[in-house]
């Protein structure tokens, strides 16, 4: 593909996949070019192209029935829906056996925010001596609800975050102007996400000071908004916002502040869940004191949704409902994907090969300090920076011409989100290409 003057988005839109020929981590385009896929469609992909176990599920009668017989699962579910849900719960974060399924990541966020608001609203009413059930409120208060004046509750999100493109999610998204321009958003408070340096170990002291500042800013917001705060929403690694990592201590601090404020901790694992960090859920690496209240999934699970602790059970039917709460066919693929991740030991594989990949990126950053910096990663959530946006794009184009398809994030970061099956040999091949590109650019 001639990539010369095109920007990265145009290049990706011109790259049309031949998914009959693509296999494993090899993406073949319709012109017959073969790329090592370190992009996986913004982390949607998990087991590579045409995995035999997923093909077998997709060819099963059960899958065909699930695809052609749409059911409104909350009202009149098909029996296989319960089997799939039970199966998925085996992979739920510890202590979170409630599951709610929708179609996309942003819908998962939207509904997790609703769950946080509903539980918070009930608690607030009951604490003030009112009814838990909003339908028992006096008529004028019910009218106020219908006229959009029923609640002043807020969700706190972080600077640089990306949570999706529907209205609630977008109100918590602060990564790029283009996502939000001209769209009115809820004026909810925004806490600063720590601007850490990498490798995390080298900048530990500096980063600890930044994280302490960020936590203190969050605490101030929680104090200021007091009982209005229904939840704090945060990504375990800010992905679209530039692959920004914070330490386990930081996340423990956020949880402690949520506990003190009596609000929900809502983790957005849409991009970080499903094994890409080397654990099924990235927050497992944070040593949290107890389960978060709500964990949102998407991407690799082939549908959106959230897991919740029992205290975030929504009691009244109809408050959380969509015509199709969960697509059976997608859910079957999700379950088979997670089973393969477990049975083929892919979490350990991602940890081991991811550490090797990161060590390789660190070596490149040492070798080409004027071009590459800030190598960072957890498992296969990998990134590094270039000095400018133009240089980053140039780097990505050169890599693409040499057959390595990495992607961008933030203003000047290269992001890698390989399929979980990427082998050590393929990592070495990628590192060889990135080395050649950096050498070329360093002149």
Ligand X SMILES: Cc1ncc(COP(=O)(O)O)c(C=O)c1O
Q: Which residue stretch of 32-40, 92-100, 232-240, 285-293 sits at the interface with ligand X (rule: CB under 6 A)?
A: 232-240
Q: Does 236 bind ligand X (CB under 6 A)?
A: no
Q: Which is nearer to ligand X, 104 or 433 (CB)?
A: 104
Q: Which is nearer to ligand X, 328 or 417 (CB)?
A: 417
Q: Which H helix or E strand runs over 93?
A: none
CB of 224 to ligand X, least distance (A): 26
Largest separation between any pair of C-alpha atoms in the chain: 74
- Which residue minimizes CB distance to ligand X? 105
CB of 13 to ligand X, least distance (A): 16
What is d(CA 335, CA 392) in angstroms, rounded to the nearest whole number? 37
**Nearest in space to 12 (alpha carbons), one of 20, 35, 411:** 35
Q: Under a CB-based contact definition with an 8 Å cutoff, are residues 297 and 92 in contact?
A: no
DSSP state at residue 381 = E
CB of 275 to ligand X, least distance (A): 15
Known catalytic residues are 162, 268, 299, 323
Of the candidate residues 39, 158, 162, 307, the single one contacting ligand X (CB under 6 A): 162
What is d(CA 70, CA 84) in angstroms, rounded to the nearest whole number? 15
Give the x/- contact pattern for ligand X in 299-318, rule: CB under 6 A: -----x--------------
Of the candidate residues 33, 41, 42, 125, the single one contacting ligand X (CB under 6 A): 42
What is d(CA 345, CA 368) in angstroms, rounded to the nearest whole number? 34
**Nearest in space to 415 (alpha carbons), one of 243, 166, 276, 271:** 243
CB of 281 to ligand X, least distance (A): 13
Q: Does 164 bind ligand X (CB under 6 A)?
A: yes
Q: Which residue stretch of 162-170, 183-191, 280-288, 380-388 sits at the interface with ligand X (rule: CB under 6 A)?
A: 162-170
Q: Does 408 bind ligand X (CB under 6 A)?
A: no
Structure-block tokens of residue 282 = 């990235």
What is d(CA 169, CA 195) in angstroms, rounded to the nearest whole number? 22
Q: Which residue stretch of 2-10, 159-167, 188-196, 224-232 sits at the interface with ligand X (rule: CB under 6 A)?
A: 159-167
Q: Does 163 bind ligand X (CB under 6 A)?
A: yes
Q: Under a CB-based contact definition with an 8 Å cutoff, are residues 302 and 104 in contact?
A: no
Q: Which residue stretch of 71-79, 161-169, 199-207, 245-253 sits at the interface with ligand X (rule: CB under 6 A)?
A: 161-169
Q: Which is nearer to ligand X, 240 or 327 (CB)?
A: 240
Q: Under a CB-based contact definition with an 8 Å cutoff, are residues 421 and 350 in contact?
A: no
* Per rule CB under 6 A, count of chain residues that contact ligand X: 16
Q: Does 298 bind ligand X (CB under 6 A)?
A: yes
Q: Which is nearer to ligand X, 368 or 405 (CB)?
A: 405
What is d(CA 51, CA 30) in angstroms, rounded to the nearest whole number? 20
Q: Which is nearer to ligand X, 110 or 211 (CB)?
A: 110
Of residues 97-126, which lie at the interface with ligand X (CB under 6 A)? 104-106, 109
Torsion of the alpha carbons at 141, 143, 147 and 151, rounded to the nearest 10: 20
CB of 44 to ligand X, least distance (A): 8
Give 277-341 as a DSSP string: TSSSSGGGGGT-SS--SEEEE-GGGSSEEEEE-GGG---STTSS--TTSS-HHHHHHHHHHHHHH
Q: Under a CB-based contact definition with an 8 Å cutoff, are residues 43 and 55 in contact?
A: no
Q: Does 383 bind ligand X (CB under 6 A)?
A: no
Q: Which residue stretch of 4-12, 186-194, 234-242, 330-338 sits at the interface with ligand X (rule: CB under 6 A)?
A: 234-242
CB of 317 to ligand X, least distance (A): 26
Q: Does 268 bind ligand X (CB under 6 A)?
A: yes
CB of 134 to ligand X, least distance (A): 28
Q: Under a CB-based contact definition with an 8 Å cutoff, are residues 39 and 407 in contact?
A: yes
Q: Does 239 bind ligand X (CB under 6 A)?
A: yes
Q: Which is nearer to ligand X, 3 or 302 (CB)?
A: 302
Compute CA distances 56 → 28, 51, 52, 62, 299, whole Å: 22, 9, 6, 11, 21
CB of 2 to ligand X, least distance (A): 28
**Nearest in space to 399 (alpha carbons), one of 31, 29, 19, 39:** 39
**Nearest in space to 175 (alpha carbons), one of 378, 408, 358, 361:** 408
Of the candidate residues 37, 110, 122, 235, the single one contacting ligand X (CB under 6 A): 235
- Which parts of this chain interact with ligand X (CB under 6 A)? 42, 104-106, 109, 162-164, 235, 239-240, 268, 270-271, 298, 304
């Amino acid at each position: 593909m001639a990539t010369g003057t095109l920007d990265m988005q145009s290049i990706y839109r011109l790259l049309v996949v031949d998914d009959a020929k693509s296999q494993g981590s090899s993406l073949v385009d319709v012109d017959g070019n073969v790329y090592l896929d370190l992009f996986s469609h913004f982390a949607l992909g998990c087991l590579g192209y045409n995995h035999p176990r997923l093909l077998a599920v997709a060819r099963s009668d059960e899958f065909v029935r699930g695809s052609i017989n749409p059911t409104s699962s909350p009202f009149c579910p098909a029996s296989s829906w319960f089997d799939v849900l039970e199966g998925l719960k085996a992979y739920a974060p510890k202590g979170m056996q409630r599951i709610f399924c929708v179609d996309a990541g942003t819908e998962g966020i939207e509904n997790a925010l609703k769950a946080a608001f509903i539980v918070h609203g009930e608690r607030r009413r009951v604490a003030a001596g009112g009814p838990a059930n909003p339908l028992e409120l006096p008529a004028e208060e019910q009218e106020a609800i219908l006229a959009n004046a029923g609640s002043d509750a807020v969700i706190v999100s972080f600077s640089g975050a990306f949570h999706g493109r529907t209205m609630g999610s977008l109100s918590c998204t602060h990564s790029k102007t283009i996502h939000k321009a001209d769209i009115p958003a809820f004026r909810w408070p925004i806490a600063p996400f720590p601007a850490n340096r990498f490798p995390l170990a080298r900048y530990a002291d500096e980063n600890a000071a930044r994280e302490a500042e960020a936590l203190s800013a969050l605490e101030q917001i929680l104090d200021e908004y007091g009982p209005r705060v229904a939840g704090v929403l945060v990504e375990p690694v800010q992905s679209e916002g530039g692959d920004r990592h914070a330490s386990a201590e930081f996340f423990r601090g956020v949880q402690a502040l949520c506990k003190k404020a009596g609000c929900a901790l809502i983790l957005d694992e849409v991009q970080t869940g499903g094994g890409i960090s080397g654990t099924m859920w990235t927050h497992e690496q944070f040593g949290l004191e107890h389960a978060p209240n709500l964990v949102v999934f998407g991407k690799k699970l082939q549908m959106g949704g959230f897991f919740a602790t029992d205290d975030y059970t929504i009691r009244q039917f109809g408050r959380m409902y969509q015509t199709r709460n969960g697509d059976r066919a997608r859910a079957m693929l999700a379950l088979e994907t997670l089973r393969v991740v477990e049975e083929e030991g892919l979490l350990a594989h991602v940890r081991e090969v991811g550490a090797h990949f990161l060590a390789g990126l660190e070596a490149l950053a040492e070798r080409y300090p004027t071009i590459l910096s800030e190598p960072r990663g957890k498992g296969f959530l990998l990134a590094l920076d270039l000095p400018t946006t133009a240089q980053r794009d140039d780097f990505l184009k050169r890599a693409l011409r040499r057959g390595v398809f990495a992607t961008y994030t933030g203003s000047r970061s290269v992001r890698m989100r390989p399929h979980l099956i990427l082998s050590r040999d393929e990592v070495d091949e990628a590192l060889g290409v990135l080395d050649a590109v950096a050498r070329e650019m360093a002149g």
